[in-house]
């Protein structure tokens, strides 16, 4: 029998698979971007690559929904892991220069990401139905940040040390990441997770409740905010702090702060304090972003990364916990398949990402330095409507439970 505060063997197996994915993920996310920066030096190329990727993710969700009629979620999870390693490997071998080719490589990464996340979200939703979901997500966030300490640091310094043969160093790195993803997918095959068979075709939920419409806007704004933070902060590192070794060291330092904070208080946040987490994120990230805009130098950029390290994992954990709760609530209320809501959510999330990346491409084309200087301030301001929406979402769940109008 499992102790109340311990993880079951099955939960540990699932978390180990997720851990291996997060070990490999910096290779395919952060360091494909540094590869593009090294080959072109253009922030627009990086934005184009990420637009392709975030367009591909909901398309991958759509394809996944059709495949779930015939294949099990664990097999599709494995396929998503396997296929995610191919596009980045080809990217480093071919080293494309045209925007169309760069966008295509991003798309070919995004499609299997949709397969992976479509099934991962289902597995997480179903595996945590009868346990403390916030505890599971907090453990996941903690192990992810611990992995985030080691992986970017080793990867960044490995690439910096191989500067004489950097092209093949990137190819070797992508091969290693591919193997790690295959192992992550294979581990999930032994997990025991009951996921209801999907007989629903993905579509936009036309008769969405007021609660779900608010959740849609929350996901759209959240996607826009986080992709702004990640893209602009990466360009800041490359501009002020250096190349691969600086990227790896900075991300590892941020992960150390996050891991310490999550270990101390990550599992103790009640739902009534979720909005307080967003308020704290606004104060820390907004204040450090304003300081960077004022100083516009390396030390000021480090203060921003410290702020991100202190709060980002809490923000992600609480918003994901609330999202899963809303999905379960709406699926139960409407008797719809949960995958419909996860697909709908993914469309909104990635629409926000693509819209923000399009704005960043336009801004970098006409005013690169002001965009780099003030982009993080704009991202921090998005916390304010998110705080308001989270309050409305929590009120909506409570009123539906009590039968209030």
Q: What average pLDDT score do residues 150-163 get? A: 73
Number of domains present in the structure of the chain:
1
HSE (side-chain half, CA atoms, 13 Å) at 202: 22
Residue 4 lies in a domain: no
CB 54 within 8 A of CB 110: yes
Q: Phi-psi region for residue 242, left (φ > 0), alpha (ψ -120 to 50) or beta?
A: left
pLDDT tens digits, 214-225: 999 999 999 999
Q: How far is CA 56 from CA 98, 111, 301, in A?
A: 19, 5, 31
Residue 299 lies in a domain: yes
Q: What average pLDDT score do residues 293-305 get? A: 82
- Inform me whether the pLDDT recorded for 343 exceeds 50: yes
Q: How far apart are CA 390 and CA 320, in angstroms?
A: 12
Q: How far apart are CA 163 and CA 174, in angstroms?
A: 16
Residue 178 lies in a domain: yes
- Inform me whether the pLDDT recorded for 141 exceeds 80: no
The confidence score (pLDDT) of residue 243 equals 53
Is 140 or 181 the better-scoring residue by pLDDT?
181
For residue 246, the SS3 value is helix
Q: How far apart are CA 304 and CA 257, in angstroms?
A: 13
Q: CA 136, 137, 138: angle at the middle one, nearest 5?
A: 90
Q: What average pLDDT score do residues 1-24 get? A: 76
Q: Residue 27: name the closest of 103, 67, 87 by CA.
A: 87
Q: How far is CA 37 from CA 238, 241, 251, 315, 322, in A?
A: 8, 14, 17, 29, 36
The confidence score (pLDDT) of residue 270 equals 76
Q: How far apart are CA 190 and CA 211, in angstroms?
A: 36
For the record, the structure tokens of 234 come out as 């990466």
155: confidence class by pLDDT, cuts 50, 70, 90: confident
- Inform me whether the pLDDT recorded for 315 exceeds 60: yes
Highest mean pLDDT among 33-42, 176-185, 236-245: 176-185
Domain that holds residue 304: 11-402
pLDDT tens digits, 246-284: 555 555 666 666 666 555 555 567 778 899 999 999 999
Task: Give the phi and the psi of residue 97 in degrees, each rounded to 5.
Answer: -120, -25
Residue 68 lies in a domain: yes
Residue 268 lies in a domain: yes
For residue 321, count other CB atoms closer than 10 A to its CB. Answer: 21
Is 39 or 132 the better-scoring residue by pLDDT?
39
Q: How far apart are CA 107 and CA 101, in angstroms?
A: 10
Match 């040390």 to its residue by tokens. Answer: 161
CB 343 within 8 A of CB 118: yes
405: confidence class by pLDDT, cuts 50, 70, 90: very low
The confidence score (pLDDT) of residue 4 equals 40
Residue 2 lies in a domain: no
Q: What is the dihedral of CA 382, 386, 388, 389, to 10 degrees?
A: 140
Residue 5 lies in a domain: no
Q: Residue 345: name the closest of 227, 195, 214 by CA.
A: 214
Q: Residue 56: name the closest of 98, 113, 122 by CA.
A: 113
For the record, the structure tokens of 276 come out as 């307080």
Q: How far apart are CA 83 and CA 184, in angstroms?
A: 12
Residue 3 lies in a domain: no
The full length of the chain comes to 405
The confidence score (pLDDT) of residue 116 equals 93
- Inform me whether the pLDDT recorded for 115 exceeds 50: yes
**What is the chain's percent helix, strand, coil content, to nearest 5?**
85, 0, 15
Q: How far apart are CA 39 and CA 27, in angstroms?
A: 16
Q: How far apart are CA 242 and CA 71, in angstroms?
A: 45
Residue 34 maps to which CATH number?
1.20.1250.20
- Inform me whether the pLDDT recorded for 30 exceeds 80: no
């Amino acid at each position: 029998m499992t102790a109340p505060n311990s993880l079951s063997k099955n939960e540990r197996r699932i978390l180990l698979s997720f851990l291996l994915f997060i070990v490999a993920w910096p290779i395919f996310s952060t360091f494909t971007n540094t590869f593009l920066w090294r080959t072109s030096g253009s922030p627009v190329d990086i934005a184009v690559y990420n637009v392709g990727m975030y367009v591909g993710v909901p398309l991958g969700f759509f394809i996944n929904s059709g495949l779930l009629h015939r294949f099990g979620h664990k097999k599709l999870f494995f396929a998503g892991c396997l296929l995610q390693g191919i596009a980045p490997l080809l990217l480093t071998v071919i080293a494309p220069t045209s925007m169309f080719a760069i966008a295509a490589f991003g798309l070919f990464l995004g499609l299997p990401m949709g397969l992976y996340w479509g099934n991962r979200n289902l597995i997480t939703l179903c595996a945590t139905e009868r346990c403390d979901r916030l505890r599971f997500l907090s453990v996941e966030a903690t192990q992810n940040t611990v992995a985030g300490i080691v992986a970017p640091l080793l990867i960044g310094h490995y690439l910096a040390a191989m500067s004489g043969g950097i092209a093949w160093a990137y190819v070797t790195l992508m091969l290693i990441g591919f193997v790690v993803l295959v192992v992550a997918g294979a581990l999930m095959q032994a997990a025991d997770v009951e996921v209801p068979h999907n007989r629903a075709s993905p579509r936009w939920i036309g008769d969405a409740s007021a609660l779900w419409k608010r959740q849609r806007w929350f996901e759209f704004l959240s996607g826009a905010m986080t992709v702004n933070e990640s893209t602009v902060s990466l360009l800041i590192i490359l501009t002020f702090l250096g190349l691969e070794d600086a990227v790896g060291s900075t991300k590892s330092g941020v992960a150390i702060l996050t891991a310490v904070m999550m270990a101390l208080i990550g599992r103790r946040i009640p739902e009534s304090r979720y909005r307080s987490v967003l308020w704290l994120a606004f104060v820390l990230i907004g204040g450090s972003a304003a300081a960077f805009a004022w100083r516009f130098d390396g030390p000021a950029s480090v203060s921003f990364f410290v702020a991100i390290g202190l709060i980002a994992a809490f923000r992600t954990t609480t918003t994901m916990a609330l999202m899963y709760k809303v999905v379960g609530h709406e699926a139960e209320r409407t008797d719809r398949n949960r995958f419909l809501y996860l697909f709908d959510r993914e469309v909104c999330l990635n629409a926000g990402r693509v819209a923000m990346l399009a704005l960043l491409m336009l801004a970098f084309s006409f005013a690169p330095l002001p965009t780099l200087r003030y982009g993080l301030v704009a991202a921090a301001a998005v916390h304010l409507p998110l705080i308001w929406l989270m309050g409305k979402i929590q009120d909506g769940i409570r009123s539906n439970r009590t039968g209030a109008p």
